[in-house]
């Protein structure tokens, strides 16, 4: 699973639902426009404080940005990310 890609798609979907441009989100989140663009494209993964700022800028719960992302804990094997559909 591509975590960055899924997170970015979630961010873009929430931004579109809020009818905001990347620039508006960037200003409201006190982030650079390029950073928002890189996150939406799955090229950059945000830190926890950036996730909180993005969610606040969009006025959504941070959990909305993690939809479709889940962790499969390991037992005798290492854990890994999985799609929530699985």
The predicted-structure confidence for 1-52, as pLDDT tens digits, reads as follows: 799 999 999 999 999 999 999 999 999 999 999 999 999 999 999 999 999 9
Six-digit token pair at 15? Answer: 């931004």
Q: Which two tokens stand for residue 54?
A: 């993005």
* Distance separating alpha carbons of residues 51 and 75, to the nearest angstrom: 29
The whole-model pTM stands at: 0.85
Predicted pLDDT of residue 62: 97
**CA atoms lying within 13 Å on the CB side of residue 18:** 22
Domains of the chain (ranges; CATH) run: 3-83 (1.10.260.40)
Q: What is the pLDDT of residue 72?
A: 85
């Amino acid at each position: 699973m591509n975590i960055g890609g899924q997170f970015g798609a979630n961010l873009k979907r929430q931004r579109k639902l809020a009818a905001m441009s990347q620039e508006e989100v960037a200003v409201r989140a006190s982030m650079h426009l390029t950073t928002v663009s890189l996150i939406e494209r799955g090229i950059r993964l945000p830190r926890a404080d950036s996730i909180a700022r993005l969610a606040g800028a969009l006025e959504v719960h941070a959990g909305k940005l993690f939809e479709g992302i889940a962790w499969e804990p390991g037992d005798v094997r290492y854990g890994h990310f999985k799609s929530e559909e699985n």
